A and B are shown apart, each in its own frame.
Chain A
Amino acid sequence: MIPAPLPDRPRPASLPELFIAFTLLALQGFGGVLAVVQRELVERKRWLSQDEFIEDWAVAQIMPGPNVVNLAMMIGARYFGLPGAMTALAGLLAVPLVLVLLLATLHARFAGNPQVEGALRGLAAVSAGLIAAAGLKLSSALVRSPLPPAWCACIAVLGFVLVALLKVPLVWVLLGLGGLGCVLTYRKMKS
């Protein structure tokens, strides 16, 4: 089953293109790939709109399994069905898997090297900025939500406090606060 994407939207032409796109994504993701997906697939390649990205991610996040793996599968499946899902998955994992195993074998030799440690610290700090930027960009999609902007802002701020500051387990925040958001949206849609 291959749902037809919108005709006026760029899309991957072939499975190899999909594979390469996800490999390149994965190689830019230090400390997580999700924000890179937003940058590359939404802003550069335009395979997805902001709204589609945020909706797909909500699904990817609530399902079991690594969220970016889930997201890659969903995007791949949209264009090429099951082969697309498997191709995106393979693209995301194959080359990074080889790299991480290489890194593990080199680790003992370079563990104490201050330059290597410094580079990793710098990369981690940039990744944090990258992820925050993705969050800020996506907040523009909230304008089209059926919920009033003030409600959206309240939920988002409360979610940040619960997860980042109070360290509440993610599952409870997703089920509780996310569930509340869904119920409120459902009710607003009726009127």
Chain B
Amino acid sequence: MSAGAIHLSLGWHDWLNLFAHYLMLSLMSLGGAISTTSEMHRFLIEQNGWLTQAQFNDSIALAQASPGPNVLFVALMGWQVGMNAGSTTLAFLGVAVTMFGIMLPSTIFTYQVAQWGHRNRELRAVRAFKQGMAPVVIAMLLSTAWILASAGGRGTAEWPLWVLSAVSCLVIWRTRVHLLWVLGAGALLGVLGVV
């Protein structure tokens, strides 16, 4: 990442403030932590100046490029705040503060609600909720795919990427080939400059 852009000295109340802010964001993160990025931007950059714009953008891009849940961009922001504060130790503290903050409230809440729903799964309202949501769930998967595919490029100039997306969709839909082969093929085509 673009190192050394900011040099901070953070006191314990700053870390507490960061933690409290992420606790609050956690409960607002309907539809995933990514939906609260604009609020993170306001807090980290505009209000406190703890990150540069480039560091903020890099955190999101790197988490997308790395395997695993996208929520890890939060860890990278904490890491970068700690690095800006001067040491790798503080960077680990930043990761712990932001990750526990963003995970703790939503995890406790969701766990309780899901357990309640599972105990009451025969209730008509619970069954209606789960089955009634199904078409929207499918719409959201297809939308995510669409948004991800169109992020690669603008319009027809990037048609090889669209072809790659369409072909991998067909292969995965219709066959039982292991995902890692398809992912590997995609990466290889990218390295060779085909897409």
Residues on A close to B: CB < 8 A? Answer: 1, 3, 26-36, 39-40, 43-44, 54-55, 57-70, 73-74, 77-78, 82, 85, 89, 92-93, 95-97, 99-101, 103-104, 107-108, 114-115, 117-139, 141-142, 145-147, 151-153, 155-160, 163-165, 169-171, 173-174, 177-178, 181-186, 189
Question: From B63, which residue of chain A is reached at the shortest CB distance?
Answer: A100
A69 adjacent to B190 (CB under 8 Å): no
Question: From A149, which residue of chain B is reached at the shortest CB distance?
Answer: B135
B136 adjacent to A155 (CB under 8 Å): yes
Sample of 7 further A-B pairs with CB below 8 A, known A63-B114, A118-B191, A126-B165: A69-B107, A93-B72, A114-B193, A119-B190, A122-B191, A129-B167, A134-B172
Selected contact of B31 from candidates A61, A101, A177, A184, CB within 8 Å: A61
B149 adjacent to A108 (CB under 8 Å): no
Residues on B close to A: CB < 8 A? Answer: 1-3, 26-33, 35, 58-59, 62-72, 75-76, 79-80, 95, 99, 103, 105-107, 109-111, 113-115, 117-119, 124-125, 127-149, 151-152, 161-162, 164-173, 176, 179-180, 182-183, 185-193, 195
Q: Which 7 A-B pairs give the minimum distances between C-beta atoms? A: A96-B68, A159-B139, A122-B190, A65-B106, A129-B168, A182-B132, A126-B186
Cα distance, A74 to B137, chains bound together (Å): 17
B35 adjacent to A120 (CB under 8 Å): no
Known: A73-B107, A100-B62, A124-B151. A164 touches B142 (CB 8 A): yes
Question: From B130, which residue of chain A is reached at the shortest CB distance?
Answer: A55
- Main secondary structure on chain A at its contact with chain B? helix
A170 adjacent to B35 (CB under 8 Å): yes
Cα distance, A82 to B112, chains bound together (Å): 10
